[in-house]
Amino acid sequence: MNNNKLIADVDGQRMEFDIYFTFTCPQNNKGYIAYTDHAVDGQGKEILNVSTFDPNVGFEELGEVQTQEEWDLINSVIEKIKNIS
């Protein structure tokens, strides 16, 4: 990671993403990172990627969000950020 950028290998290609936010959840000891390469979906909305990470290690290895409970938590954080902006 470089400042607010995430550099990742995606399918053998080095890609750069802008980081929107990160947070950790003490209940499950996971970190979450939301990032984008500014691609848009079919409706013209920017695609936001969310991955998990080990807060003790950092962004070296990203994982997938695995449960609906995690998605609910992430969506609540996104809503809070929207309300602040």
**pLDDT tens-digit map of 15-40:** 999 999 999 999 999 999 999 999 99
Run of H or E including 18: strand 13-25
| Location of structure tokens 């929207």 | 82
* High-pLDDT (> 70) share of the chain, %: 95
Residue 57 lies in a domain: yes
Q: How many domains does the chain have?
A: 1
Is position 5 within any domain? no
Report the DSSP beta bridge partners of residue 15.
8
Global confidence as pTM: 0.86
> What's the chain's length in residues?
85
Write down the residue that tokens 């990172």 correspond to: 33
Residue 85 and residue 78: Cα distance in Å, rounded?
11
In a domain, 10, yes or no: no
- What is the 8-class DSSP label of residue 1? -
8 belongs to a structural domain: no
Q: Which domain holds residue 27?
A: 20-84
